[in-house]
Amino acid sequence: MNVHLRPMRPEDIDQVAAIDAHCFRPPWPKHSWRDELGMRNHSHLVVLCDGLLPRLPGWRRHLQLPRSRPPGERIAGYGGMWLVAGEAHISTLATHPDHRGLGYGELLLAALIRRALARQATSVVLEVRESNRVARNLYQKFGFRLFGMKAGYYREGNEDGCDMRLDLDDPEARNQVLQQCKMVRAKVIHVDTFNLIPQPFGYP
Protein backbone atom coordinates (compact mmCIF):
# COMPACT_ATOMS: atom_id res chain seq x y z
CA MET A 1 0.00 0.00 0.00
CA ASN A 2 1.30 3.43 -0.90
CA VAL A 3 0.12 6.78 0.35
CA HIS A 4 0.45 9.76 -1.94
CA LEU A 5 -0.33 13.41 -1.20
CA ARG A 6 -0.78 15.38 -4.36
CA PRO A 7 -2.58 18.46 -5.66
CA MET A 8 -6.24 17.82 -6.44
CA ARG A 9 -7.08 17.63 -10.14
CA PRO A 10 -10.39 18.10 -12.01
CA GLU A 11 -10.76 14.34 -12.53
CA ASP A 12 -10.77 13.88 -8.72
CA ILE A 13 -13.99 15.87 -8.26
CA ASP A 14 -16.36 12.86 -8.29
CA GLN A 15 -14.43 10.95 -5.62
CA VAL A 16 -13.85 14.01 -3.46
CA ALA A 17 -17.49 15.10 -3.71
CA ALA A 18 -18.57 11.57 -2.68
CA ILE A 19 -16.45 11.75 0.50
CA ASP A 20 -17.66 15.30 1.11
CA ALA A 21 -21.27 14.08 0.94
CA HIS A 22 -20.46 11.52 3.66
CA CYS A 23 -18.88 14.14 5.91
CA PHE A 24 -20.66 17.48 5.64
CA ARG A 25 -24.20 18.86 5.65
CA PRO A 26 -24.55 20.49 3.21
CA PRO A 27 -21.66 19.22 1.04
CA TRP A 28 -20.01 21.51 -1.49
CA PRO A 29 -21.73 21.31 -4.88
CA LYS A 30 -19.50 19.97 -7.67
CA HIS A 31 -19.26 23.39 -9.33
CA SER A 32 -17.64 24.77 -6.15
CA TRP A 33 -14.82 22.22 -6.50
CA ARG A 34 -14.36 23.27 -10.13
CA ASP A 35 -14.31 26.96 -9.11
CA GLU A 36 -11.77 26.26 -6.37
CA LEU A 37 -9.53 24.40 -8.81
CA GLY A 38 -9.69 27.43 -11.10
CA MET A 39 -8.40 29.81 -8.40
CA ARG A 40 -4.93 28.39 -8.17
CA ASN A 41 -3.34 31.57 -6.79
CA HIS A 42 -5.47 31.49 -3.66
CA SER A 43 -7.01 28.06 -3.36
CA HIS A 44 -4.83 25.09 -2.44
CA LEU A 45 -6.43 21.66 -2.61
CA VAL A 46 -4.68 18.45 -1.65
CA VAL A 47 -5.84 14.85 -1.95
CA LEU A 48 -4.50 11.80 -0.17
CA CYS A 49 -4.55 8.68 -2.30
CA ASP A 50 -3.79 5.18 -1.26
CA GLY A 51 -3.34 2.22 -3.54
CA LEU A 52 -0.51 1.10 -5.72
CA LEU A 53 1.61 3.79 -7.34
CA PRO A 54 2.26 3.10 -11.01
CA ARG A 55 5.69 2.62 -12.59
CA LEU A 56 6.21 5.75 -14.64
CA PRO A 57 8.79 6.43 -17.32
CA GLY A 58 11.70 8.88 -16.98
CA TRP A 59 11.52 11.95 -14.79
CA ARG A 60 7.81 11.47 -14.15
CA ARG A 61 8.70 8.38 -12.12
CA HIS A 62 10.79 10.46 -9.71
CA LEU A 63 8.05 13.00 -9.21
CA GLN A 64 5.26 10.39 -9.26
CA LEU A 65 3.19 12.52 -11.62
CA PRO A 66 1.06 10.25 -13.77
CA ARG A 67 -0.79 11.86 -16.67
CA SER A 68 -4.02 10.21 -15.63
CA ARG A 69 -5.32 8.42 -12.57
CA PRO A 70 -3.45 5.15 -12.18
CA PRO A 71 -5.64 2.07 -11.80
CA GLY A 72 -6.06 1.15 -8.15
CA GLU A 73 -5.60 4.71 -6.89
CA ARG A 74 -8.33 5.68 -4.41
CA ILE A 75 -8.82 9.03 -2.76
CA ALA A 76 -9.03 8.50 0.99
CA GLY A 77 -9.10 12.15 2.07
CA TYR A 78 -8.72 15.74 1.00
CA GLY A 79 -8.04 19.19 2.37
CA GLY A 80 -8.45 22.74 1.17
CA MET A 81 -6.96 26.07 2.14
CA TRP A 82 -7.21 29.66 0.98
CA LEU A 83 -4.06 31.70 1.22
CA VAL A 84 -4.66 35.44 1.07
CA ALA A 85 -2.49 38.30 2.34
CA GLY A 86 -0.39 36.12 4.64
CA GLU A 87 -3.36 34.36 6.23
CA ALA A 88 -4.07 30.71 5.55
CA HIS A 89 -7.69 29.65 6.02
CA ILE A 90 -8.38 25.92 6.17
CA SER A 91 -11.61 25.67 4.19
CA THR A 92 -12.19 21.93 4.39
CA LEU A 93 -10.60 18.71 5.61
CA ALA A 94 -11.97 15.18 5.63
CA THR A 95 -11.05 11.55 5.43
CA HIS A 96 -13.26 8.77 4.11
CA PRO A 97 -15.13 7.05 6.97
CA ASP A 98 -13.44 3.73 6.06
CA HIS A 99 -9.98 5.30 6.40
CA ARG A 100 -10.25 7.07 9.74
CA GLY A 101 -7.83 6.67 12.61
CA LEU A 102 -4.93 5.87 10.28
CA GLY A 103 -3.17 9.20 10.62
CA TYR A 104 -4.46 10.46 7.25
CA GLY A 105 -6.29 13.47 8.70
CA GLU A 106 -3.19 14.76 10.44
CA LEU A 107 -1.06 14.05 7.37
CA LEU A 108 -3.40 16.19 5.25
CA LEU A 109 -3.39 18.96 7.85
CA ALA A 110 0.42 18.85 8.03
CA ALA A 111 0.59 19.10 4.23
CA LEU A 112 -1.58 22.24 4.23
CA ILE A 113 0.42 23.82 7.05
CA ARG A 114 3.69 23.08 5.27
CA ARG A 115 2.31 24.79 2.17
CA ALA A 116 1.25 27.78 4.30
CA LEU A 117 4.72 28.00 5.86
CA ALA A 118 6.37 27.78 2.44
CA ARG A 119 4.21 30.73 1.32
CA GLN A 120 5.23 32.77 4.40
CA ALA A 121 1.78 32.76 5.97
CA THR A 122 1.79 34.30 9.45
CA SER A 123 -1.35 32.55 10.71
CA VAL A 124 -3.60 29.62 9.97
CA VAL A 125 -7.30 29.97 10.84
CA LEU A 126 -10.34 27.74 10.60
CA GLU A 127 -13.88 27.20 11.85
CA VAL A 128 -15.09 23.94 13.33
CA ARG A 129 -18.43 22.88 14.78
CA GLU A 130 -18.49 23.12 18.56
CA SER A 131 -19.70 19.49 18.71
CA ASN A 132 -16.89 18.20 16.46
CA ARG A 133 -14.68 16.81 19.24
CA VAL A 134 -12.55 14.70 16.87
CA ALA A 135 -11.57 17.59 14.62
CA ARG A 136 -11.04 19.93 17.58
CA ASN A 137 -8.65 17.38 19.11
CA LEU A 138 -6.79 17.18 15.84
CA TYR A 139 -6.38 20.96 15.59
CA GLN A 140 -5.37 21.31 19.24
CA LYS A 141 -2.70 18.69 18.69
CA PHE A 142 -1.11 21.04 16.13
CA GLY A 143 -1.26 24.00 18.50
CA PHE A 144 -4.45 25.70 17.28
CA ARG A 145 -6.06 27.79 20.02
CA LEU A 146 -9.71 28.68 20.49
CA PHE A 147 -9.88 32.35 19.51
CA GLY A 148 -13.62 32.89 19.91
CA MET A 149 -17.04 31.56 19.07
CA LYS A 150 -19.13 32.43 16.00
CA ALA A 151 -22.79 32.22 17.03
CA GLY A 152 -24.97 30.24 14.61
CA TYR A 153 -22.09 29.96 12.12
CA TYR A 154 -23.45 26.62 10.83
CA ARG A 155 -26.93 27.15 9.45
CA GLU A 156 -27.52 23.38 9.29
CA GLY A 157 -28.45 22.59 12.89
CA ASN A 158 -27.93 26.25 13.88
CA GLU A 159 -24.68 25.38 15.62
CA ASP A 160 -21.97 27.71 16.85
CA GLY A 161 -18.56 27.61 15.21
CA CYS A 162 -15.26 27.59 17.08
CA ASP A 163 -12.87 30.10 15.58
CA MET A 164 -9.46 28.42 15.90
CA ARG A 165 -6.11 30.02 15.14
CA LEU A 166 -2.48 29.10 14.90
CA ASP A 167 -0.06 32.00 15.09
CA LEU A 168 2.98 31.12 12.98
CA ASP A 169 4.77 34.29 14.09
CA ASP A 170 4.81 33.05 17.69
CA PRO A 171 8.10 31.13 18.05
CA GLU A 172 6.60 28.66 20.56
CA ALA A 173 3.57 27.87 18.40
CA ARG A 174 5.74 27.66 15.30
CA ASN A 175 8.09 25.25 17.01
CA GLN A 176 5.21 23.07 18.20
CA VAL A 177 3.65 22.89 14.75
CA LEU A 178 6.96 22.13 13.06
CA GLN A 179 7.60 19.28 15.53
CA GLN A 180 4.08 17.99 15.04
CA CYS A 181 4.36 18.04 11.24
CA LYS A 182 7.64 16.17 11.49
CA MET A 183 6.20 13.47 13.77
CA VAL A 184 3.07 13.03 11.70
CA ARG A 185 5.05 12.73 8.47
CA ALA A 186 7.29 10.10 10.02
CA LYS A 187 4.28 8.01 11.13
CA VAL A 188 2.86 7.24 7.68
CA ILE A 189 5.18 6.29 4.83
CA HIS A 190 4.15 8.48 1.95
CA VAL A 191 5.12 10.50 -1.10
CA ASP A 192 4.26 14.21 -1.02
CA THR A 193 4.13 15.90 -4.40
CA PHE A 194 1.76 18.57 -3.06
CA ASN A 195 4.63 20.28 -1.32
CA LEU A 196 7.28 19.23 -3.80
CA ILE A 197 5.70 21.12 -6.67
CA PRO A 198 3.55 24.12 -5.77
CA GLN A 199 1.73 24.22 -9.14
CA PRO A 200 1.14 20.79 -10.66
CA PHE A 201 2.28 19.93 -14.15
CA GLY A 202 -0.45 20.39 -16.76
CA TYR A 203 -2.70 22.20 -14.29
CA PRO A 204 -5.30 24.36 -16.05
Ligand X SMILES: CC(C)(COP(=O)(O)OP(=O)(O)OC[C@H]1O[C@@H](n2cnc3c(N)ncnc32)[C@H](O)[C@@H]1OP(=O)(O)O)[C@@H](O)C(=O)NCCC(=O)NCCS
> Applying CB under 6 A, which of residues 5, 93, 111, 113 lies at the interface with ligand X?
93
- Least gap, CB of 199 to ligand X (angstroms): 25
Rounded Cα distance, 91 and 198, in Å: 18
Helix/strand/coil (H/E/C) assignment for every residue in the chain: CEEEEEECCHHHHHHHHHHHHHHCCCCCCHHHHHHHHHCCCCEEEEEEEEECCCCCCHHHHHHCCCCCCCCCCEEEEEEEEEEECCEEEEEEEEECHHHCCCCHHHHHHHHHHHHHHHCCCCEEEEEEECCCHHHHHHHHHCCCEEEEEEEEEECCCCEEEEEEEEECCCHHHHHHHHHHHHHHHHHCCCEECCCCCCCCCCCC
- Residues numbered 168 to 187 that lie near ligand X (CB under 6 A) are none
Select 61 or 187, whichever has its Cβ closest to ligand X. Answer: 187
Query: Does residue number 26 form part of the binding site for ligand X (CB under 6 A)?
Result: no
Site string for ligand X, 44-83 (x = CB under 6 A): ----------------------------------------
- Least gap, CB of 23 to ligand X (angstroms): 4
Select 63 or 160, whichever has its Cβ closest to ligand X. Answer: 160
Query: Does residue number 23 form part of the binding site for ligand X (CB under 6 A)?
Result: yes
Select 66 or 103, whichever has its Cβ closest to ligand X. Answer: 103
Query: Does residue number 200 form part of the binding site for ligand X (CB under 6 A)?
Result: no
Rounded Cα distance, 45 and 33, in Å: 9
> Applying CB under 6 A, which of residues 84, 134, 149, 183 lies at the interface with ligand X?
134
- Least gap, CB of 160 to ligand X (angstroms): 13
Select 137 or 158, whichever has its Cβ closest to ligand X. Answer: 137
Rounded Cα distance, 134 and 110, in Å: 16
Q: Which residue is nearest to ligand X (CB)?
A: 105
Percentage helix, strand, coil for the chain under 3-state DSSP, each rounded to 5: 35, 30, 35
> Applying CB under 6 A, which of residues 49, 53, 128, 166 lies at the interface with ligand X?
128
Query: Does residue number 103 form part of the binding site for ligand X (CB under 6 A)?
Result: yes
> Which residues of the chain form contacts with ligand X (CB under 6 A)?
23, 93-95, 100-106, 128, 132-135, 137-138, 141
